[in-house]
Amino acid sequence: MSDADAPNDGEIKMVMAVIRPDKLSDVKTALAEIGAPSLTVTNVSGRGSQPAKKSQWRGEEYTVDLHQKVKIECVVADIPADDVVDAIADAAQTGEKGDGKVFTLPVESAVQVRTGKTGRDAV
């Protein structure tokens, strides 16, 4: 198979998403269903179009403008990155502000630490 016939035109891609924490299980299931079960998950906080919330603690009012989210990173070579993007977006969507974002980035190189494999073979 030539690089032009390979998924992602023979390139390694990283799909990175920032989503609601309660949608993580749905996203993991969706990724497993398309054959992309490998991922890295990080708890993050951030702000986008989701509005700030005002709360009180011990009589003091404060504004929560950084919302708790989950960042998912999925590096793919043999699976089309567009399929990963679609799986994440479909599984994470609630229709409300704050559902998140999905980004696709090129990966210049990869090394599997245990075996020393490089490039697409490392993924």
Question: The pTM is what?
Answer: 0.86
The mean pLDDT value for 61-74 works out to 89
pLDDT tens string 36-64: 989 999 999 988 877 777 777 788 887 77
Least confident of 14-18, 27-31, 45-49, 71-75: 45-49
pLDDT given at position 59: 80
Please tell me the predicted confidence (pLDDT) of residue 1.
52
Helices (H) and strands (E) in the chain, counts: 2, 6
What are the structural domains of the chain?
1-120 (3.30.70.120)
DSSP SS3 for 54: strand
